């Protein structure tokens, strides 16, 4: 058994889904479970519909729902035989009618709760998984649909729900392998449900996580993440095109890269895979012949210190100075207790005895956080920052790393904060977002001038 996950661009159109059918068809004997994301940018569109609704923009949301239905119907019709058109239309009608009711309800309430966000954004994967199932049959694959909400059980933290692993693994092991005996199982990623059956989601980009949960639950031989790039690259291609592909990388390094911004993998993806020691592959659905990146449990010997450079844009830097000056006993505890209470994760951190600098990328609850911090400290906030993180498990054994990095950045780029992670796998720092491109370019030149052919393509 293997798990094959296809992201939004890999299922964005009938042509893309036909390519997917070809790839899945070539692996039938390995008994694939296929996990799909919403088609193209559907999740963003659903969220835009929800915010138009609560803002009372009636014409806008009605038109957007209409466009979304047209898009799904148009692509699906290209892959459904005449005999199954009626089933397709009926299902699309049902889904879009429900969605419209929900959106109208939101418009009346004028409020968008996390639970409502999950209900709305779930339609993307519900639609895509249904359409892909019909399309697979059209292209000659024996396919059956499984509603992920029946098998992936989570807590109630809507929009960021955490799986209840024991229950989920139990349901997966019971349900999926029997279906795989003679069929390809198709499931939507990202969506799940509480024990009571209320729809939840695993957070943006969460279909990767679904794939690894399913892989761990059924004891798959391999988890394949099919996307729109050749694999994990030495830099984010939207910032620096033309980076090298990594042939292989360790779970620990991949997790660190994902956490610090390499969007190609959802940060939680590797956890279930590590636990069951299942290799994860990143592959390109447009170029299936490329061997991709293999993520493995063991350390990977490599002549290079750095494996890849991850970045995050739109970061906010918060500087906190204790007004009580020295002997600020309990200072850190108070600070973290506040961020914790407002469920705002801190990414990078540097401290001295009386001051702390930290970065966050979710500023939704920044205002009340600042208010509380100001009760015992002076706080300044810098927006439009970026974090850059060099990742590689040789970093810990390489003397002079920091001097190499800061020498490369030169005098023009002002480094606002530095942090060498306790994991020893990374060296991170904060700069103005305006300097990001330049910084990644110079670092890439320094650290990838020569590349170990065993690890890099
Ligand atoms: P999918 O829809 O298949 O899940 P995503 O858009 O979530 O795809 O992730 C793939 C994207 O991740 C790539 O198109 C690329 O722009 C981005 N990315 C960021 N950092 C990296 C990296 N180090 N290597 C490869 N891709 C990266
Ligand atoms: N469709 C969801 C999103 O856009 C999940 C995913 O694609 O992984 O975030
Ligand atoms: Mg993704």
Q: Do residues 190 and 317 both lie within one domain?
A: no
From CA 207, how far away is CA 43, in angstroms rounded? 12
**Whether the CB of 10 sits within 6 Å of ligand 2:** no
**Ligand 3 mean position, distance from CA 341 (Å):** 28
Q: Do residues 192 and 322 both lie within one domain?
A: no
Among the candidates 228, 263, 283, a domain finishes at 228
Residues of the chain with pLDDT under 70: 325-328, 421-423
Q: What is the CATH number of the domain that holds 397?
A: 3.30.2130.10
Domain membership flag for residue 406: yes
**Whether the CB of 44 sits within 6 Å of ligand 1:** no
**Ligand 2 mean position, distance from CA 98 (Å):** 21
pLDDT of residue 28: 97
From CA 311, how far away is CA 389, in angstroms rounded? 6
**Whether the CB of 38 sits within 6 Å of ligand 2:** yes
**Whether the CB of 377 sits within 6 Å of ligand 2:** no
Ligand 2, atom 8, lies closest to the CA of: 205
**Whether the CB of 210 sits within 6 Å of ligand 2:** no
Q: Do residues 80 and 177 both lie within one domain?
A: yes
Q: What is the 3-state secondary structure (H, E, C) of the chain?
A: CEEEEECHHHHCCHHHHHHHHHHHHCCHHHCEEEEECCCCCHHHHHHHHHHHHHCCCHHHHHHHHHHHHHHHHHHHHCCCCHHHHHHHHHHHHHHHHHHHHHHHHHHHHCCCCHHHHHHHHHHHHHHHHHHHHHHHHHCCCCEEEECHHHCCEECCCCCCCCECHHHHHHHHHHHHHHHHCCCEEEEECCEEEECCCCEEECCCCCHHHHHHHHHHHHCCCEEEEEECCCCCECECCCCCCCCCEECEEEHHHHHHHHHCCCCCCCCCCHHHHHHHCCCEEEEECCCCCCCCEEEECCCCCCCCCCCEEEEEEEEEEEEEEECCCCCCCCHHHHHHHHHHHCCCCCCCEEECCCEEEEEECCCCCHHHHHHHHCCCEEEEEEEEEEEEEEECCCHHHCCCHHHHHHHHHCCCCCCCEEEECCCCCEEEEEEEHHHHHHHHHHHHHHHCCCCCCCCEC
Domain membership flag for residue 291: no
Note down the domain range covering 416.
Answer: 308-447
Ligand (nearest to CA of 37):
2
Domain membership flag for residue 294: no
**Whether the CB of 228 sits within 6 Å of ligand 1:** yes
pLDDT of residue 175: 98
pLDDT of residue 84: 86
Q: Do residues 17 and 123 both lie within one domain?
A: yes
Residue 437: CB atoms within 10 A of its CB come to 13
Ligand 1: residue of 226, 263, 267, 288 to mutate (most ligand atoms within 8 A of CB) is 263
Number of the ligand 1 atom closest to the C-alpha atom of 285? 3
Among residues 205, 102, 201, the alpha carbon closest in space to that of 148 is found at: 201
Residue 433: CB atoms within 10 A of its CB come to 17
The single residue listed with the structure tokens 């100001």 is 374
Among the candidates 193, 208, 228, a domain finishes at 228
Among the candidates 203, 228, 253, a domain finishes at 228
Number of the ligand 2 atom closest to the C-alpha atom of 208? 8
Number of the ligand 1 atom closest to the C-alpha atom of 237? 16
Q: What is the CATH number of the domain that holds 150?
A: 3.40.1160.10
From CA 324, how far away is CA 331, in angstroms rounded? 10
Number of the ligand 1 atom closest to the C-alpha atom of 309? 23
The pair phi, psi for residue 333, each rounded to 5°, is -60, -45
**Ligand 2 mean position, distance from CA 159 (Å):** 11
**Whether the CB of 189 sits within 6 Å of ligand 2:** yes
Number of the ligand 2 atom closest to the C-alpha atom of 44? 4
Order of strands, sheet of 308-322, starting from the edge strand that comes earlier in the sequence: 349-351, 355-360, 308-322, 377-391, 426-432, 417-420
pLDDT of residue 325: 60
Ligand (nearest to CA of 8):
1
Which residues fall within 8 angstroms of residue 86, CB to CB, at 6 or more apart?
Answer: none
Ligand (nearest to CA of 11):
1
Tokens of 316: 């906010």
Q: Do residues 190 and 327 both lie within one domain?
A: no
**Ligand 2 mean position, distance from CA 191 (Å):** 9
Altogether, the residues listed in the chain come to a count of: 457
End-to-end C-alpha distance for the chain, whole angstroms: 28
**Ligand 1 mean position, distance from CA 330 (Å):** 40
Q: Do residues 224 and 322 both lie within one domain?
A: no
Domain membership flag for residue 54: yes
**Whether the CB of 396 sits within 6 Å of ligand 2:** no
Domain membership flag for residue 152: yes
Number of the ligand 1 atom closest to the C-alpha atom of 208? 4
Domain membership flag for residue 434: yes
**Ligand 3 mean position, distance from CA 349 (Å):** 26
Count of the separate structural domains present in the chain: 2
């Amino acid at each position: 058994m293997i798990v094959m996950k296809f992201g939004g661009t890999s299922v964005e159109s009938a042509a893309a889904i036909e390519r997917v059918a070809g790839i899945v068809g070539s692996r039938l004997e390995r008994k694939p479970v296929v996990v799909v994301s919403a088609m193209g940018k559907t999740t963003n569109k659903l969220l835009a519909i929800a915010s138009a609704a609560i803002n009372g923009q009636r014409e806008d949301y009605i038109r957007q729902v209409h466009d979304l239905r047209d898009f799904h119907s148009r692509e699906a019709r290209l892959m459904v035989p005449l005999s199954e058109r009626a089933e397709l239309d009926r299902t699309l009608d049902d889904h879009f009618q429900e969605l419209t009711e929900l959106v109208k309800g939101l418009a009346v309430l004028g409020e968008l709760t996390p639970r409502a966000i999950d209900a709305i954004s779930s339609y993307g994967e519900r639609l895509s998984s249904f359409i892909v199932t019909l399309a697979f049959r059209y292209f000659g694959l024996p396919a059956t649909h499984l509603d992920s909400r029946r098998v992936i059980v989570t807590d109630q933290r809507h929009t960021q729900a955490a799986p209840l692993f024991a229950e989920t693994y139990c349901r997966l092991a019971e349900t999926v392998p029997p279906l795989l005996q003679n069929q390809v199982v198709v499931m939507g990623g990202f969506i799940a449900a509480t024990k009571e059956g209320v729809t939840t989601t695993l957070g943006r980009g969460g279909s990767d996580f679904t794939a690894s949960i399913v892989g761990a639950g059924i004891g798959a031989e391999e988890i394949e993440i099919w996307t729109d790039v050749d694999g994990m690259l030495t830099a984010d291609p939207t910032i620096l095109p033309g980076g090298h592909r990594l042939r292989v990388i360790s779970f620990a390094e991949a997790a660190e890269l994902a956490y610090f911004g390499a969007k190609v993998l959802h940060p939680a993806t590797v956890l279930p895979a590590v636990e069951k020691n299942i290799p994860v592959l990143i592959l390109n659905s447009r170029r299936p012949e490329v061997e991709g990146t293999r993520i493995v449990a063991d350390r990977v010997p490599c002549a290079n210190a750095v494996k890849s450079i991850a970045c995050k844009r739109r970061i906010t830097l918060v500087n906190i100075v204790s007004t009580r000056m020295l002997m600020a006993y309990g200072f850190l505890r108070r600070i973290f207790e506040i961020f914790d209470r407002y469920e705002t994760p801190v990414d990078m951190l540097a401290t001295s005895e009386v001051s702390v600098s930290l970065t966050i990328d979710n500023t939704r609850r920044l205002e009340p956080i600042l208010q509380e911090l100001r009760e015992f400290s002076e706080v300044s906030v810098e927006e439009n920052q970026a974090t850059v993180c060099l990742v590689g498990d040789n970093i810990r054994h390489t003397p002079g790393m920091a001097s190499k990095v800061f020498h490369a950045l030169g005098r023009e780029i002002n480094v606002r904060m530095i942090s060498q992670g306790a994991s020893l796998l990374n060296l991170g720092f904060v700069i103005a977002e305006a300097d990001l491109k330049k910084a990644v370019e110079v670092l890439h030149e320094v650290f990838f001038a020569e590349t170990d052919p065993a690890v890099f393509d």
